[in-house]
Amino acid sequence: MIGSVVVYCASSTKIKSCYFEAAQRLGKILAENNITCCNGAGNMGLMAALSNAVLENGGRVTGVIPRFMCEQGWHHEQLTTLEIVDTMHERKQRMMQLSDAAIALPGGCGTLEELLEVITWKQLGLYLKPIVIVNVDNFFTPLLAYLEQLIEERFMRPIHRNIWIVVESPEDVLEAIEKAEPWDASVRKNAAI
């Protein structure tokens, strides 16, 4: 049973409307399925669109944000729960702790960094839960090609393809989570090449 997911996504407001639509659809799906959404508590961009959609549909949002961002007024003020931490590292770790799965929507460097960190943690057997990449409008296709290159050039093993699942739309996310291959700490033996 999935009770909570962490969603990594953009804070930018200047991006294509299809990304906002995807965030809103995912938020509605999470709320309708009684799944708590955990994110970075931002009040702009896809983070805000996602949170607003969850809340508007009767769902719950837990936001985790560093204190310096709150001091800038970057936090969403209507979330179900707001956790304030001291550092970006604590933020990422706490969001992973709160989640039964990780989902990536389109985003910038912060989203990419969060996604690659959770992939690394899973490779090392530190995060054993499903990771779903929502490839809206082929946004992640270059990254997926890069990950494939890492495998082809033996920076990662072929088994590491099972770390993430790629879907094309928010409507496919929950089924992907349910069908994710089990992953346990024994994968550590595969971490070194």
**Count of domains forming the chain:** 1
Judge if pTM exceeds 0.85: yes
Q: Are 141 and 95 in contact (CB under 8 A)?
A: no
In a domain, 51, yes or no: yes
Q: Is the pLDDT of residue 189 over 80?
A: no
In a domain, 74, yes or no: yes
Q: List CB contacts of 14: < 8 A, sequence separation 6 or more.
A: none
Structure tokens that stand for 142 in this block: 């270059």
Question: Would you state the pLDDT for residue 193?
Answer: 67
Q: Is the pLDDT of residue 20 over 70?
A: yes
> Which structural domain range is residue 59 located in?
4-180
In a domain, 191, yes or no: no
